Amino acid sequence: MTSPQLPPNAYTNAPQQHPNLILGSLQLLFWLVFRPSAWRNHLERIDPALDSDSSLIILLRQGRWRNLSLWRLFIQAYFILPILIPIFVDLQGAPSSASDHAGFLYNLAREMEKSAKKQGVTLPSLAREVLKSDPFTYFSEWLDKVEQALEQNTALLALDEFEVLDNALVKGRFDEQDVLGMLRHLIQHRPRFKVLLAGSHTIEEYQRWASYLINVQVVHISYLKEAEARQLIERPVKDFTLRYEPNAVERVLQLTRCHPFLVQLLCAEIIVLKNEQDPSIRRLATLADVEAAIPEALQSGGFFFADIQNNQVDATGQAILRSIAAQGEGAIVSRQTLLQQFPDADITFKLLLQRELIEEVDDGYGFQVELIRRWFV
């Protein structure tokens, strides 16, 4: 926090980069693919004169050797660039909203082209009219040209929100065998591409996907370790001057269970709260501050909680969660009691456990994360 009047909200900026060159390089790759705002904030922290929309390749071509931090960035770039060129496609956008295969493949190619351009890589264009007669054949031929444009590089094709594409398959807009067969062929037979599917659901929940993607590796992203969460709370950036009382840190950990998004969400609201307080108490977060920030966190993070409620559980799951939530913080409801209320919900209980919304304690169930419980009260 650089200003005594209005400290910037460090929890919404890029976190401090890992000091290890290799791990820091992987961190950069993650920011480039999934958190472009963190990449921009990282560049601004290195040198405010840098164009925050620049990619690694563009920065290297500019040859801007300003300071030690830039030297470090360029060294890390050489770890990343010969390996992967990240190409990000949000399937919640145009690709999955298309009305037919030609529209889907055209939008997919266009998003790939736009994403690659941000990395300083020019991919060939694909005309929509070409796809109308035989969309998958012409898309495959376009991929041949893309591989030529990649030269010796490999593209990391990151497809986010794959569940949205599944909804389009269920509605019958796209043919399952054609679309998923194309994806499987891409994974198996195009070594210049590495495919990353990201979503809040598991492949096992989508049987049609599981049968096509039998050779994929599932990476489960869960909670931070406690030491990592403490660092995120107390030292999200270098020279962070807000201090937390020990019981305030413990309370943040209790409320979030070290969930990375929820830690940042709650701490961001604590910062907002502190900015409204008298300067004499602004730089020390107390237990009372943490408690006061909870309602604001539930409101500002509403999209996160609403996604759990509306997209990750069905009506029975919602009823189970509300029933457990009503018992209060830390409550464990016996399995027998819940089965009396929901006698045919064995599959739902398994899903709630798989989603890490509840956990089994002795012979009962309770919420894993207190902030999520608060949402369902």
- Element of type H or E holding 281: none
Conformational region of residue 124, where left means phi above 0, alpha means psi within -120 to 50, and beta covers everything else: beta
Average pLDDT over residues 317-333: 97
| Most confident range, picked from 21-35, 91-105, 205-219 | 91-105
- Tokens 């963190």 — which residue? 38
| CB-based burial label for 71 (10 Å; 0-12, 13-18, 19+) | exposed
- Tokens 């830390």 — which residue? 330
More confident position, 320 or 6 = 320
How confident is residue 26, by pLDDT bands cut at 50, 70 and 90? low
Confirm if 265 and 297 have CB atoms less than 8 A apart.
yes
Report residue 202 as tokens: 């598991």
How confident is residue 218, by pLDDT bands cut at 50, 70 and 90? confident
Weakest mean pLDDT among 26-30, 151-155, 214-218, 242-246? 26-30
* Cα–Cα distances in angstroms (integers) from residue 143 to residues 12, 26, 41, 82, 150, in the given order: 37, 26, 33, 20, 10
Report residue 315 as tokens: 């009506």
Longest dimension (CA), the chain: 71
SS (H, E, C) 336-370: HHHHHHCCCCHHHHHHHHHCCCEEEECCEEEECCH
Q: What is the pLDDT of residues 161-184, one digit of tens each?
A: 888 898 899 899 999 999 999 999
How far is the C-alpha of 88 from the C-alpha of 286, rounded, in Å? 40
Best CA proximity match to 197, nearest among 91, 307, 85:
91
What pLDDT does residue 160 have?
A: 85
Q: What is the pLDDT of residues 290-323, one digit of tens each?
A: 999 999 999 999 989 998 999 889 999 999 999 9
Residue 79 pLDDT greater than 60, yes or no: no
Looking from the CA of 238 toward its CB, the CA atoms found within 13 Å total 7
Please report, rounded to a whole number, the percentage of residues in the chain having pLDDT higher than 70: 77
pTM score, two decimals? 0.70
Residue 120 pLDDT greater than 70, yes or no: yes
Domains of the chain and CATH, by start: 10-80 (no CATH), 85-212 (no CATH), 226-300 (1.10.8), 313-376 (1.10.10.10)
- Write the single-letter amino acid at 41: N
What pLDDT does residue 93 have?
A: 84
- Element of type H or E holding 95: helix 94-97
**Looking at residue 31, what DSSP letter applies?**
H
How far is the C-alpha of 43 from the C-alpha of 45, rounded, in Å? 5
Report residue 164 as tokens: 């949205």
How far is the C-alpha of 244 from the C-alpha of 227, rounded, in Å? 15
How confident is residue 206, by pLDDT bands cut at 50, 70 and 90? confident
Looking from the CA of 296 toward its CB, the CA atoms found within 13 Å total 16
Best CA proximity match to 346, nearest among 373, 320, 372:
320
